[in-house]
Structure 1
Amino acid sequence: MMMIKRLPYILLLNAAGFALFLSWYLPANHGFWFPLDSGIFLFFNQLLAKSQAFLWLVAITNNRAFDGFSLLAMGCLMLSFWRKEDAAGRRRIIAIGLVMLLIAVVVNQLAQGLMPVKRSSPSLYFPNINRVSELLHISTKDASKDSFPGDHGMMLLIFSAFMLRYFGKKAFGVALIIVVVFIFPRVMIGAHWLTDIVVGSLSAVLIGLPWCLMTPLSDRLIDLFDRYLPRKCNKDKTNN
């Protein structure tokens, strides 16, 4: 019954996802999206040579170790809810996290396999541009041979959707801030086009995720994980 009531909303979100993707995929040279993509990349790319502080900022925020801070930020947000719960509530939050990871992997793999797109990042597309790895010679991700859709962006968007579904609008707002903070450096350095995230990642989430979060599927998976997670023995339990 719940799924029947929500089906129009699921289909509406799916339609929005398909429309978003096709608005980029169908027009010659990606229509209005390419000037936006290229303009953003070239703007930040010029700054790399003009500002040493900006150069170091994008280099550090695109180091693989910095990805750990995005996991830490997501973990801290969930921890803030976990600390307020009793034992049963904490188990459920752990189950939510496990289901979120499972669904993120499935949606990402389906998107990578089904989207008929393969393109290099702007740092490999444009000639004679500034590469952070060449300017500083440190380990940083400034290029990708297959940047569409953005898998890191997809994971963060899925996290945001789970926050909205299970923890409310305030948690969703914080999650969106985490998305911007940890996704935009990829765009500034040229490892991703803007449309890798706002078209690729977002359209995949709009098409795939409603069938998980707006149907009983996610709740049933959470209940399943909750049922089989190890339980602490209550030593104080007495026999009646």
Structure 2
Amino acid sequence: MNTVRLPLILVLNALGLALFFSWYLPPEHGYWFVIDSTLFHFFNHALIKSHAFLLLVAVTNNRVFDGISLLAMGSLFFCYWRKESVTGRRHRVIMGIVMLFCAVIINQLGHLIPESHVSPTLYFTDIYRVSDLLHFPTKDASKDSFPGDHGLMLLIFTGFMWRYFGKKAFGLAVIIFLIFIMPRMMIGAHWFTDIFVGSLSVVLVCLPWVLLTSISDRLIILLDCYLPKRLKTNH
């Protein structure tokens, strides 16, 4: 059973709140806006400098690529799941269910933040949009990009990998997070701060109360009691 580590939880919460308010309180978001604007325009100008980059950005923001991100997360989970005993596999599957449940709840809590804005492609004028440069189905804009849902889900997955599979799984999950969140920023569907302030601050405030207390373990035990035993998987 996981024990409560209150000091660490409070430190992580404080970091999350400090990160959010460092962005939220300054007029026009202070230096964060400089970072956001600089990164957006760098990638936006690159769209017309390299057709290969334009194609890459378009493809990696197609809905099919979202499926590849799910496949990557599922593959990492599977690599650890298959090493378990039958009982261990059942436990890990239930952990995955708990992770999805927590992701939905935390995502809803994140959208209670009294702040929303459009993506940079809708904020700036005289910029390039991939949907105008290519006749290819891709997501290059959002009317409500803060906090980033995609980044939030990937960060929650990363946290669960650390808690239940260890540091190596955490490192691989971080790589997956970076690979699949970068296209959203490169195309201009999200600001840098949508992910590294919005999503990250929500995770730092909410997720420690799940993973650094007994909450996630207790949910797993509870579901283990009530879910059909046929959930057990084959060798």
TM-score bracket, normalised by the shorter chain, equals: over 0.9
Aligned to 2:213: 215
Q: Say if 1:135 and 1:157 are closer, same or farther in 2 by CA, change over 3 A.
A: same
Give SS of 2:144's match: coil
Shift of 1:226: 2.1
Cross-structure match for 1:237: none
Alignment-derived partner of residue 93 in structure 1 = 92
Q: Which residue of 2 aligns with 1:126?
A: 124
Counterpart residue number, 2:36: 37
Aligned residue type for 2:88: G
Q: Do residues 59 (structure 1) and 50 (structure 2) align? A: no
Deviation at 1:230, TM superposition (A): 2.4
Which amino acid in structure 2 is aligned with residue 142 of structure 1? D
Per the alignment, residue 161 of structure 2 pairs with 163
CA contact (8 A) 2:62 2:137 kept: yes
Q: Which residue does 1:107 correspond to in 2?
A: 106
Provide the secondary structure at the position in 2 that maps to 1:144. Answer: coil
CA distance in 2, matches of 1:202, 1:233: 33
Q: Which residue of 2 aligns with 1:16?
A: 15
Cα-to-partner distance string for 1:161-196 (whole Å, 9 max, x where unaligned): 001100000000000000000001000000000000
User: Which consecutive residues of structure 1, in runs of 5 or more, have no partner in the other structure?
Assistant: 235-240
> Partners of 2:127 and 2:189 in 1: how far apart?
13
Q: Which has more radius of gyration?
A: 1
Match of 1:72 in 2: 71
> What amino acid sits opposite 2:126 in the alignment?
N
Which of 218-227 and 65-74 deviates more?
218-227
Q: Is the 8 A contact 2:90 2:231 kept in 1?
A: no
Rate the CA distance shift 1:2–1:129 in 2: closer, same or farther, 3 A: same
Q: Deviations over 1:142-164 (max 9, x none)?
A: 00010000010000000000011
Q: Deviations over 1:29-62 (max 9, x none)?
A: 1111011100000000001011100000000000
- Give the 3 Å change call, closer, same or farther, for CA 145–232 of structure 1 in structure 2: closer
SS at match of 1:146: coil
Normalised TM-score (structure 2): 0.96
Give 1:230's aligned residue: 228
> What's the secondary structure of 2:83's corresponding residue?
coil
Alignment equivalent of 2:184, drawn from 183, 186, 211: 186
- Number of equivalenced pairs: 231
**Identity between Structure 1 and Structure 2 (%):** 64
Taking only aligned residues, the RMSD between alpha carbons, in angstroms, comes to 1.4
Distance in structure 1 (CA, Å) of the matches to 2:84 and 2:96: 15
Residue 82 (structure 1) shift? 1.1
Taking structure 1 as the reference length, the TM-score comes to 0.94
